[in-house]
Amino acid sequence: MNILMVYPRYPVTFWSFKYILKYISKKAAFPPLGLITVAAMLPRGWNIRLIDLNVKKIKDRDIVWADYVMISAMLVQKESVHEILHRCRQMGKKVIAGGPLFNSTPEEYYSLVDHLILNEAEHTLPPFLTDLKNGNPKKIYRSEDFPDLALTPFPRWDLIDVKNYASLMIQYSRGCPFNCDFCDITAMFGHNPRLKSVDQLLGELQAIYDLGWRGGVFIVDDNFIGNKGAIKKMLPEMINWMKAHDHPFVFLTEASINVADDDELIDLMVEAGFESVFIGIETPHEESLKECAKHQNCRLDMGAAIKKLQAKGLQVLGGYIVGFDSDNESIFARQIKFIQETGVVTAMVGLLNALPNTRLWRRLQEEHRLDSCSSGNNTSINFIPRMDREKLIEGYRRIVRTIYSPRHYYQRVCKFLEHYKPCRKRRRIEYVQIKAFLKSIFYLGILGNGASQWYYWKMLFKSMTFYRKSFPEAMTLMVYGYHFRKIAKKI
């Protein structure tokens, strides 16, 4: 059996980091972790090829070679998915599909794909493979049960060239104990976090270490600290592994803001090599937090929590939302003020979107306020807001234009550096970092223009003078600023 796995193209968004990639000579930010994990569940005798459209184009001969085309995607990749499905249909190729996009609206793809493998593949892929072997595969496979992650195999890293990517990825857990009404994580993975064993995690770290990878690793759990007790038992083992291997990786993950409540947990994460954490901060408006059931954000001073994490050595990447029913026109200035004062440099601001199968989606459906299915891109809105739509969209654009203007961005980097206390175990500078720095001098310092060029040189000399320990972070953030300004301009 010849299987062609295809990973759809991402549009250019904040998260694509497209405009940064030229500085580090990479083709994409992250690899298709889901597909290479599913590949490890397929029969050993099958011939498997994988094409990531973010890295290379797919050719007709690739599709002709395949007996089946397998595709997995997220909502934001929807446009590319339809292009792939159209080509496969034209060429008469059967398609097997799964992943978040197809789970959210399977009825939309019922006539476009041959087989839908929904929910989690550990439970739904094996019966499909059995039926395929017996010659009677069904159209759709579902499961309401949440599988034990002991069933999850190591990803097939051999199917891709890891040198094409800015960061590799691993998954340690699925599920989140919270119930934010706009989030679809609990609908997909449940409230009870399921974790891999420590041996599984260390084995996956060893696997990417053996590839020769050194640098960033994104632990893609939707809430890494969902089970704090288990995490605290695991992190000492991770610390020992990192020490034994001379600290080859730096980690990024996602977590809820209550991580700031636990000094022991923070210290363990930093000791293990975590340098950045993405947190859904959402809004400084408490009524909007209560509206969306983000109660964990109401239980502490979010500004103080962010500064505490920065002082401990964790850079906070923040997610922010406008468009809640409780928001009024003052929210735009409040968001700008809060983001600037806390020094969250990477501030991903979006319009509220109602994702399928979420509590928000069901409520708006009952209120007859849904406009369309979400595109997965939070720079547009898919329901009728309480605030005037044009005022909401213009206010959102004002936030993005303001926080990513050269002056505001530079001020925010400085605010971050005031609080940030890096705690590095890896002191050596990688060649790719030197190369990126030299490119930044050329593209931003020499070819740059206007205020952006001025603030680049100002940050270069200021960080060399006052923030020498944080110099790599300072210059990395200035490169990020170039990407964010490009995206802000498109918005």
Residue-level pLDDT at 16: 87
How much is the pLDDT for 122? Answer: 98
The two beta strands, 173-174 and 194-195, are antiparallel
Structure tokens at 290: 């209560």
159 to each of 5, 51, 52, 68, 71, how far by Cα in Å?
A: 10, 9, 10, 17, 15
| Strand pairing class (168-170; 315-322) | unpaired
> What pLDDT sits at residue 41?
98
Longest dimension (CA), the chain: 70
The predicted structure's pLDDT at residue 428: 62
CA distance 108 to 123: 23
User: How many helices and strands, by DSSP H and E, does the chain display?
Assistant: 19, 14
Count of CA atoms in the C-beta half-sphere (13 A) of 5: 25
Pure H helices in 105-257: 121-133, 185-189, 198-210, 228-244
pLDDT given at position 426: 57
Could you read off the pLDDT tens digit of each residue along the chain, which spans 491 residues? 999 999 999 998 888 889 999 999 999 999 999 999 999 999 999 999 999 999 999 999 999 999 999 999 999 999 999 999 999 999 999 999 999 999 999 999 999 999 999 999 999 999 999 999 999 999 999 999 999 999 999 999 999 999 999 999 999 999 999 999 999 998 899 999 999 999 999 999 999 999 999 999 999 999 999 999 999 999 999 999 999 999 999 999 999 999 999 999 999 999 999 999 999 999 999 999 999 999 999 999 999 999 999 999 999 999 999 999 999 999 999 999 999 999 999 999 999 999 998 999 999 999 999 987 766 677 889 999 999 999 999 999 999 999 999 999 999 999 999 999 988 665 566 777 888 899 999 999 999 888 999 999 999 999 999 999 999 999 999 999 999 999 998 88
- Would you state the pLDDT for residue 490? 86
Using DSSP's 3-state secondary structure scheme, residue 131 falls into: helix
